[in-house]
Amino acid sequence: MPFATSPDGTRLYFECHGTGTPLLLLAGQASDHREWDGVRADFTAHHRVIMLDYRGTGQSDKPGAPAYSTRGFAQDAVAVLDQLGLDRAHAYGISMGGRVAQWLAIEHPQRLGALVLGATTPGNTHGVARDPAITQAMQRGDWASLRHTLVSPAWMAAHPDFEARMAAMDATPAPGFARRLHYQASEGHDSWLMLDRVKAPTLVLHGSDDEINVSANGVLLAERIPGAELQLIDGARHSYFEEYRTLASQRVLDFLRRHPLQA
């Protein structure tokens, strides 16, 4: 099985699929690479897709210290690129993965091509807050009660495969301590003062009806990052990339096509 090793010795599991320009897919909080299973095939025809299990999740090591951070997760992603011998890759991050991708662009610009930030925020200090009831459920790790914030009930009922994948991930979650460390890392993210350093071509994608990370945060990111494009998907919730898969994936592919990876 393929593993990379982070600077602190943590072993990180990763997978590669497809051929073409490398594209790093970064999952959300306390999620492993399986979060991309529903849409991965949209990208493998055009890209060498790279997905990793964050520390604390999946088949990666699960250290209890030091504290996890989105900045540290970005460094872990670089370790995966190093293991693969890749100088540069595009990056597409959703939710917490979008926060990780921000640090890739800020602190490792030479490793990044184009950047896609999905359903994410610049951090709580300057971002727009979600409903406190949703935050409380996230703190408890009660994602079952938050299914309705991911996709619409009607779409979920019509797509039992989505619920089955969610149930499979729920059956083998990250350990409780790791979920808490991921939550702290995600909630502790704050890139606001450095977003103007992002040089990568950037697409900000957001569902208009996102309750986990409300869409006003996408507006803030697009305003803060020089030259960023903002595309809101009307009616979409947090997992816009699932319910509006055809539209969302095509927008990402079109953006990457317009911004080819430079040697």
Q: What is the mean predicted confidence (pLDDT) over 156-163?
A: 93
Q: Strands (DSSP E) along the chain, which ranges?
A: 3-5, 11-17, 21-26, 47-52, 89-94, 112-118, 202-207, 229-233
Q: Tokens 């994948």 — which residue?
A: 165
The residue type of 64 is G
| Cα 147 to the center of its chain, rounded Å | 18
pLDDT band at residue 263, thresholds of 50, 70 and 90?
A: low
| Full DSSP string of 102-164 | HHHHHH-GGGEEEEEEES--SBTTTSPPPPHHHHHHHHHT-GGGGHHHHS-HHHHHH-HHHHH
pLDDT in tens, 196-219: 999 999 999 999 999 999 999 999
pLDDT at residue 142 in the model? 80
This prediction has a pTM of 0.97
Domain ranges, ordered by start, for the chain: 3-258
pLDDT band at residue 248, thresholds of 50, 70 and 90?
A: very high
pLDDT at residue 262 in the model? 79
Q: What is the mean predicted confidence (pLDDT) over 179-195?
A: 96
pLDDT at residue 238 in the model? 97
pLDDT at 41 over 70: yes
pLDDT at 232 over 90: yes
Looking at the chain, the whole-number percentage of residues with pLDDT higher than 70 is 100
pLDDT in tens, 54-70: 999 999 999 999 899 99
Superfamily of structural domain 3-258: Alpha/Beta hydrolase fold, catalytic domain (3.40.50.1820)
Looking at the chain, the whole-number percentage of residues with pLDDT higher than 90 is 90
Q: What is the mean predicted confidence (pLDDT) over 76-95?
A: 98
Cα 250 to Cα 66, 89, 154, 245: the distances in Å are: 39, 19, 23, 8
pLDDT in tens, 87-145: 999 999 999 999 999 999 999 999 999 999 999 999 999 999 999 999 998 888 787 78
β pairing state of 11-17 and 3-5: antiparallel
Kindly give the interhelix angle for 176-187 and 96-107, rounded to the nearest 10 degrees. Answer: 60
pLDDT at 9 over 70: yes
pLDDT at 6 over 90: yes
